Structure 1
Amino acid sequence: MTVLRLAVVLLYFCYCVGQEQQCSRYHYEEQILAKVVKLEHRLELLEARNNIGGQTDNSLCPDTWIRFRGSCYLFPRGDVNFSAAEYFCVQHGSHLVHVESKSENNFLKNHMRDMKESNYWIGLTDTDVEGTWGWSGTGTYALFTDWSSHSPNNHGGNQHCVFMQFAHNFEWNDMSCDTKYRAICERNLLS
């Protein structure tokens, strides 16, 4: 469509050379069309930039998965314990989400606000060493956290898995791994 408009502008310009009085209307339209073309180009650049860092283009994610930066995310229905959540994710070529930055955390929070009021497991546990929080299945430790106030607290001595808590704006809290919440699965983009 943009190429067509540009061709029309050039046609008007070529036709009007030497016939300025008859073509004042064409000159005005030429200026307007040039501005439209420029704005369309800016819009295309903005859309391309958002697709690189955002979630709008899911072409590299499986159906029902949501893209954000270099990962795809799935928010399956149904409450399950931590182990069942991780198992479900593995069966779908992924793992419970590893939240590695504030921007990723904010993306997840914003998406969960649009969904049913639920709590969501993330892949963080201290089952190996009490108080040392690591991502399940990797042996890597959390460099970013978003704990709610007074968390983690290992209440009752058996809270070793982490969830994003609806009642506290999806801040993180520790809980017994046997509790049933929804899962968030994460996988790399398809190649």
Structure 2
Amino acid sequence: MNTSILILFVAISPGIIQVAIAGCCPDGWMPHKSRCYYVGYETKLTFSAAMVYCHVRGAQLVQFESYGEYSFLRNLLKKTQASDAWIGLSDQKHEGIWQWIGSKGFATFSDWAPNEPNSANGGEDCVGFFASEDYKWNDFSCTDKLIPVCEKSS
């Protein structure tokens, strides 16, 4: 009887539950809600290369469905002091209309850095976390090299 109680206690302990949740994502991926996230700290890529990088991993550049999801990733990047990082948002199809890549969805909120987006030199069509501006959004040239932030279902 004591063994059963001990097993039950272990099964509901917070550490075990956390391990079970983390087990839903591949090694190196960070779980949050029903999604898994991977930050490619080891590489800097253009926007299109970052899309391929995520695709090869069965994922896509992150697309925020809620402010909570965005806050989770922003805080993760801040804690790890990551460099600028791509998200899957662009106005390449229509200037000033920010759309998630690979979908017909539009950004439902924004957290732009001061004076952004500014489409400097008329060629900033891709969005990323801007490390020097507290990881708020910035429009970058799609040929700039940033680290990719990928997501997939857990």
> TM-score range with shorter-chain normalisation?
0.7 to 0.9
List aligned pairs for 1:55-66, cutoff 5 A: 57-66=21-30
Q: 1:104 aligns with which of 69, 91, 104?
A: 69
Q: Distance in 1 between matches of 2:149 and 2:29?
A: 10
1:186 aligns with 2:140: no
Q: What aligned pairs does 1:38-187 form with structure 2 within 5 A after superposition?
A: 44=12, 47=14, 57-76=21-40, 77-187=42-152
- Give the deviation of 1:6 after TM superposition: 10
Runs (5+) with no aligned partner, structure 1: 8-39
Which amino acid letter does the alignment assign opposite residue 76 of structure 2?
Answer: H
For 1:81, the aligned partner's letter is T
* CA distance in 1: counterparts of 2:131 and 2:31, whole angstroms: 22
For residues 13-28 of structure 1, the aligned pairs below 5 Å read none
Deviation at 1:139, TM superposition (A): 1.9
Residue 170 of structure 1: how far off its partner (Å): 0.5
RMSD: 2.5
TM-aligned CA deviation for residue 102 of structure 1: 1.5
Distance 1:185 1:164 in 2: 13
Residue number in structure 2 paired with 1:13:
none
Following superposition, the deviation at residue 5 of structure 1 comes to: 9.3
Name the structure with the higher strand share.
2
The alignment of Structure 1 onto Structure 2 pairs a total of residues equal to 150
For normalisation by structure 2, the TM-score amounts to: 0.87
User: C-alpha offsets along residues 147-174 of structure 1, whole Å, 9 cap, x if unaligned?
Assistant: 1111111111100000101111110010
Name whichever structure is richer in helix by fraction: 1
Q: Report the 3-state secondary structure (helix = DSSP H, G, I; strand = E; otherwise coil) of the residue aligned with 1:128.
A: coil
Deviation of residue 115 (structure 1)? 1.9
Look up the equivalent residue of 1:150 and give its one-letter code: N
Amino acid at match of 1:153: N
TM-score, normalising length from structure 1?
0.71
**Native 8 Å contact 1:56 1:67 kept in 2:** no
Matched letter for residue 173 of structure 1:
N
Matched residue SS, 1:74: strand
